[in-house]
């Protein structure tokens, strides 16, 4: 079974614009909606309430361990990855998308791996967060962007960070990277409530972003 996130216009969406969820199952060579969840209550006011909302929602998914949306980042990404979900992002929903996911991860899950080396690489890819994830319940987040660049080179720094910075509530964010992104410095340049700093060690930068009120 495959869980798919839709907005009010029936387009693929994220958890911040979520209107309904449909769970698909392949029966008689066709994908059928076996369940639709429209009474969705997502409280994203803080980290704890976000996780509680997701915990309640996941109870509706049955045995499905595959989820598809336009963007799944931040707390939702970390939550579903921890629960063992295969997480997919796509711009447009189609039966062809369902068919490809079904073939690769339900019909022939082992056929995706051509060798032991590929096994390890795919595990690294699967275990590489592509957005900041919470390290505790106090609002501290972390992202190793060097791993993202290595295992998910198609993910830009803006794609990894902007949805989080725009939507998540956080106390601090630590980013490990190969260089300090100019756009990120500019993003916080005029925000007097944010303390932005970086340090370099052995060619690797650590960026530290802290809300001043939280660091006092």
Q: Give the number of other Cβ atoms within 10 Å of residue 63's Cβ.
A: 5
| d(C-alpha 46, C-alpha 48), whole Å | 6
pLDDT at 127: 67
Average pLDDT over residues 74-84: 81
In the block, residue with structure tokens 């509680």: 52
> Going by C-beta distance under 8 Å and a sequence separation of 6 or more, which residues neighbour residue 31?
24, 25, 95, 98, 99, 102
pLDDT at 85: 87
Q: Which CATH superfamily is domain 2-122 in?
A: Dinitrogenase iron-molybdenum cofactor biosynthesis domain (3.30.420.130)
pLDDT at 115: 47
Burial code (b: 16+ CB inside 10 Å, e: under 16) for 66-102 equals bbbbbbbbbbbbbbbbeeebbbbbeeebeeebbeebb
How far does CA 153 lie from the centroid of its chain? 16
pLDDT band at 79 (very low <50, low <70, confident <90, very high): confident
Q: What is the pTM of this model?
A: 0.55
pLDDT band at 109 (very low <50, low <70, confident <90, very high): low
Mean pLDDT over each residue of the chain, to the nearest integer: 83
Domain boundaries, the chain: 2-122, 128-211
Average pLDDT over residues 164-177: 89
């Amino acid at each position: 079974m495959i869980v798919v996130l839709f907005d009010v216009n029936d387009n693929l969406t994220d958890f911040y614009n979520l209107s309904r969820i449909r769970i698909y199952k392949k029966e008689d060579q066709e994908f059928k909606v076996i369940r639709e969840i429209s009474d969705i209550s997502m409280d994203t006011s803080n980290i704890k309430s976000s996780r509680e909302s997701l915990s309640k929602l996941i109870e509706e998914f049955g045995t499905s361990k595959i989820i598809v949306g336009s963007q799944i980042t931040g707390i939702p990404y970390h939550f579903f990855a921890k629960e063992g979900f295969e997480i997919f992002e796509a711009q447009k929903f189609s039966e062809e998308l369902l068919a490809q996911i079904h073939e690769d991860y339900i019909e022939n899950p082992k056929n995706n791996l051509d060798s032991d080396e590929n096994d390890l690489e795919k595990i690294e890819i699967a275990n590489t967060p592509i957005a900041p994830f919470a390290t505790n319940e106090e609002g501290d987040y972390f992202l190793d962007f060097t791993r993202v660049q290595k295992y998910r080179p198609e993910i830009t720094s803006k794609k990894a960070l902007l949805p989080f910075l725009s939507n998540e509530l956080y106390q601090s964010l630590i980013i490990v990277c190969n260089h300090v992104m100019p756009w990120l410095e500019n993003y916080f340049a005029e925000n007097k409530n944010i303390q932005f700093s970086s340090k370099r060690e052995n060619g690797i930068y650590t960026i530290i972003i802290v809300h001043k009120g939280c660091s006092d």
